[in-house]
Every structure is written in structure tokens, then in C-alpha cells.
Chains A and B, each alone.
Chain A
Amino acid sequence: MRLSLGKLTFPLYALLAFIYLLIPIVYTFAFSFNDSLKTNLIWRGFTFDKWTNVCQREGVCEAFGNSVLIGVVSTVAATALGTMIAIALVRYRFKFRRSINLLLFLPMATPEVVLGAGLASQFFNLGVQKGIGTIIVAHVMFCLSFVVVTVKARVASLDPVLEEAGKDLYANPRQVFWKITFPLLLPGIAAAALLSFALSFDDFIITNFNAGSEMTFPRYVYTAAARGVPAEANVIGSAVFIAAILIVLATQINGERKRRMLLKKH
């Protein structure tokens, strides 16, 4: 089908859209090299100092460390719980499917302020002291549904014939799971874990309601925003961005390589 718009309209539009999407990222990255003082508002000259001495700025690295710890623990818990639910949803038929689907969807559909205020009220009623523990509890809760969605897609694309073949060859259910199902699900589980970590690491709203006086990286930026965010925060943000992009590109290129190899064989 040929649209009368001309061949270049869509590529040009996409180019403009990507420039728009990338502007704040480029800005953040550029200003991580700014030879700034306390705030990072105007360009004062190029320096690598902020990258080499990130932890010089009080609180940045502590907040970053807390965020990584919270991200790792919540990701492990949410991925385990979510993968189990995803397998059950795709592989088994049972009553109350609709209610379970709805229960899993609702946390994703609930605005973060509501989730945050609700959990904070719950902790208050139970007399629980807010801190790293309560943040992790909150993060596992909102990451869980996203894990289910991601892993579910992978389970659905899995050929049950492979598991049946395992059973026919006298593997017990545990062996079938660990030798066949789990390795095949691994790419989906890994994607879910990455998503979960990204969600946890970047969450501010729910965390802010349940953190008490504990700092995370987004909370550090929020508190600093009132008086000016230091360039060191840009360093952390840019470093995380680069790491995430490299991971995503590596998996994509790897996937494409495998696809091409398969095509060649046939």
C-alpha cells in the first residue's frame, strides 16, 4: 500500500519523535560533566570530576546503595511469586480465573498515590516502623503483577510437547520442571526481573509514603530538587541509563543472532 504522503514522511516523523524522547536524557548526561558547584543549573565547563568522585557528595552513594539493595531483594521476591502465578494461569484451568485476573490487574491500574497511602495506613494501623523493610514490602507488591504479565507471555509460547517428551522419558515432575520448563522460561523470567528491578529502582511515589526517614535514590533527587540537584545525581542517573541500555541491546542482538542462525540452518 502506498500512502500519498510521500516516502520520507514517516521516517522523518519518527526521527523527530525520537529526538523529542531523547532530549532530557542527553541533557541529564551532558550535565553530569558540568563543573558545577552545589547546584547544576548553568553550564560552567567540562569535567570528569563528578564521575570519578561521585561519592564525594554527601548522601548520593548511600541513597544509590539503598536503592540497589531494595531493587535486588524486591526483584527476587516478586519474580519468584509472579512466575509461579504465571505458570498456574497458563497451564491450568480453574474457577475464579476472572477474579484472579482482576486481582492481578488492579495493582497496575491503581494510581501510585492510592497504593502508597493505603500501605502507609496499613503499616500505621499495625504499628510497623517504616524503613527499608516497608519499602521492600511495597515494591514486591507493585512489581508482582508486571512479572506475571511478562512471564505469562513466555509460558504461553512454550510448546507443552517438550514437557510431555520429558515425562515419556521417565523424568519425574521435578526433573521436568528444572530440566525443561525452567530453562525454556528463563528468557521471560530474566526480562521480568529486569523490568521489576527498573520499576523498583525508579519508584518514588509509593516509596515516599512508606520510607520513613530512609533515603532511596529517587527520594534523594526529590529532596534535593527544592534547592538544586547536584551533578553527582546526574552521574548516577546516566550510569544506570547506560547499564540498562547495554543490557537491553545485548539481549536484542543476541536474540537476532540466534534467529539468523536458525534461519541459516533451515
Chain B
Amino acid sequence: MAFAAFSSTKSNGTSKPKKTGRVVIALLAPGLAYLGAFFLTPLIALIMVSLQAQDPYGGIGDYIPAFEINNYFLVITEYFPHMFRSFSYALIATILALLISYPLAYFIGVKARPYPLLQKLMLTLVIAPFFISFLLRTLAWKQIFSNESWIVTTLQDTGLLEADQYVVGTPFMVIFGLTYNFIPFMTLPLYTSLERLDTRYLEAGSDLYASPSKVFRKVTLPLSMPGIISGTLLTFIPIAGDYINASGDFLGSSSTAMLGNVIEANYLQINDYPSASALSVLLMGAILILVAGYVKKSGTEDLL
């Protein structure tokens, strides 16, 4: 893909001043070549590894090039629960992040407009979690909800939790962590969209006797749709592939393992490269379908 792009700019250069064509190639070539070498070809390598077969004469972790389509059927049957979990956790966490972020983004982007400095300070607070290590902030939640913490003992004392029930290791905790960790990815695009919202449209709506909720449904919501779509995409994708929150050392347990946990364990711990790669290819395929749907709706210029 990358190399096709260069040759096209070159041929395009004939109709334009020659110098411009050369400058464009010089500007684009190094970066695109880099992505070709370290993003695109690794994806091809991944597909090749996903089709490899166990070396009949080798030990654990020895594979030979092959065309084992069967690898895909095996991982789908074996890891269906993990796929289902990845998808459902990501869906729930994305919806929660949207519900939490929307009023916040609306406040920063619309209500706080007369105070630009306050807007900037609040935006800094939204991205503040990015500045503390992802792993440390996840571990902090683990400690806050640990079995000995006052939150859990209070819940047990009030009877909301059984005496032998805990929070860490449950799907609730994993979804809680996923929602928390990816909220800024939802709030920022929503803010960008709402910040551009022309409030005169809202006034027009209420002048025409629309109730506040109707103004929201018919005016605000449709106008902020680009932010909702890109926020959803930016949140859903990393969550679907995450393996920190669901890991047993962090917020999850073996019963909350997601696709990412399987890929990590199979690739790095038991050296089952083909199954890990097949799962990665399936995950990538699912994401590509999502992205394709998005591109069809909004085009490529808005992607970046």
C-alpha cells in the first residue's frame, strides 16, 4: 500500500510542477516506508504464523510453515468464551464510558464556554489519568477494592455482599477498571464535537416550544454524533484487546480472561504462536470491519 502511494505521487508529478512531486515523495517516503516495514509486513507475518503447523520432529514452540486453516476453527471453538467476554465487556464499558463522559464533555464544551481558562484546566483534569502509569492506576483500584478494604467490609456488613464474596476478580471489577482507564478516549472526542456546537440551534429549538429533552434528542445529540462515533471507536477498540484489567494480577481472575489474556499467555508463556496469531488475526479482522463501517459513513479525512 505504502509503495503504491509513492509511485502514484511520482506519476502525478508530471502534471504539476516537478519540484512539488519530489518534495511530497521526500516528505512522505521515510514515514510511510517505516509503517510499511514495521506495521504492514508484521501483519502479514502474523497471518503466516497463524497458519503454521507443529513441527513433527520438534519440541514445544517449534513450528513449520504450513497452510493450517484448521488453526482458526480450533481457536474459535476453544476460545469462544474469551471472545464473547472481550466483546461484551468492551460493549458494556464503552456504553458506561459514553454515559459518564457525555454530561462532562457537555459541561466543559458548552456550559463552561465563557471561562476559557477553566475549560483548559478541566481538560487537563480529564487527561490527568494518562500521566500516571496505566498499571499503577489500575493497581490503585485493586487496592481500593481489595478484600480487606473498608469498601468491601462495609458491603459485607450491610449484606450487599455475602461474607465470602469479594469484588476483585469479578466481571464487575474488570468492567469498572476498563471503563475508568478508557474514559478520556471518550470524553476528548465528545468535547471536540460539543465545543463546536452552535448554541443558537438549541435556542431556536426552545423558541419553537421544544422541551429541553426534545432539544437534546433532536438537536444536540445528532450534532454531536461525530464525537460519539469516534469516541466509541477509540474506546471500544483498545478495550477489546486489553489484557491488563482482566489479568489475575490486576482486577480479574481466570474466569474473567479476555481475548488479550489468551493471546498474551499463548504467545509469551506457552509459545503456542499459531493459536495466538490466529486469535490476533481474528481480532484485527473484527476491528477492520468496524473501521470500514466508520470510513463508509464519514470518509478518511476525519479519521485523523
**Residues of chain A whose beta carbon lies under 8 Å from any beta carbon of chain B:** 1, 3-5, 10-11, 13-14, 17-18, 20-25, 27-28, 31, 41-42, 81-82, 84-85, 87-89, 92, 94-107, 109-115, 117-122, 124-125, 137-138, 140-141, 144-145, 148-149, 152, 198, 202, 204-205, 208-209, 217-218, 221-222, 225-226, 229, 233-234, 237-238, 240-241, 244-245, 248-249, 252, 255-256, 259
Is the beta-carbon distance between B31 and A85 smaller than 8 angstroms?
A: yes
Residues of B23-73 contacting chain A, CB below 8 A: 23-24, 26-28, 30-32, 34-35, 38-43, 45-46, 48-49
Q: Which 9 interchain pairs have the tightest Cβ spacing?
A: A111-B241, A118-B42, A24-B140, A88-B27, A244-B131, A81-B31, A101-B300, A24-B137, A105-B303
Q: Given that A118-B43, A121-B277 are known contacts, is A256 also in contact with B116, CB under 8 Å in the complex?
A: yes
CB-CB nearest in chain B for A199: B130
Q: How far is the CB of B119 from chain A (nearest CB, A)?
A: 10
Partner of B264, one of A208, A244, A249: A208
A217 to B40, CA, bound (A): 28
Q: Does B173 contact A (CB under 8 A)?
A: no
Is the beta-carbon distance between B238 and A104 smaller than 8 angstroms?
A: no
Q: Given that A14-B122, A18-B125, A252-B124 are known contacts, is A119 also in contact with B1, CB under 8 Å in the complex?
A: no
Is the beta-carbon distance between A119 and B199 smaller than 8 angstroms?
A: no
Partner of B287, one of A104, A110, A198, A256: A110
Partner of A122, one of B42, B108, B120: B42
Is the beta-carbon distance between A84 and B28 smaller than 8 angstroms?
A: yes
Is the beta-carbon distance between B24 and A245 smaller than 8 angstroms?
A: no
Most chain B CB within 10 A, of A20, A125, A148, A249, is at: A125
Partner of B250, one of A111, A205, A225: A225
Partner of A198, one of B46, B104, B126, B131: B131
Chain B neighbourhood of A259, CB < 8 A: 116
Is the beta-carbon distance between B280 and A118 smaller than 8 angstroms?
A: yes
Q: How far is the CB of B94 from chain A (nearest CB, A)?
A: 14
Number of interface residues of B (CB under 8 A): 102
A114 to B106, CA, bound (A): 34
Is the beta-carbon distance between A225 and B137 smaller than 8 angstroms?
A: no
Is the beta-carbon distance between B263 and A81 smaller than 8 angstroms?
A: no
Can you list 20 A-B contacts with CB-CB less than 8 angstroms, sorted by A residue number? A14-B104, A20-B100, A20-B180, A81-B31, A84-B31, A94-B24, A99-B5, A100-B32, A103-B40, A105-B303, A113-B259, A113-B260, A118-B46, A119-B38, A121-B46, A122-B38, A222-B249, A225-B135, A225-B139, A252-B120
Most chain B CB within 10 A, of A109, A118, A120, A204, is at: A118
Chain B neighbourhood of A105, CB < 8 A: 291, 300, 303-304
A252 to B122, CA, bound (A): 12
Partner of B4, one of A99, A102, A198: A99
A66 to B46, CA, bound (A): 28
Is the beta-carbon distance between B27 and A84 smaller than 8 angstroms?
A: yes
Q: How far is the CB of B138 from chain A (nearest CB, A)?
A: 8
Chain B neighbourhood of A140, CB < 8 A: 34, 38
Is the beta-carbon distance between A115 and B32 smaller than 8 angstroms?
A: no
Q: Does B74 contact A (CB under 8 A)?
A: no
Chain A neighbourhood of B48, CB < 8 A: 121, 125
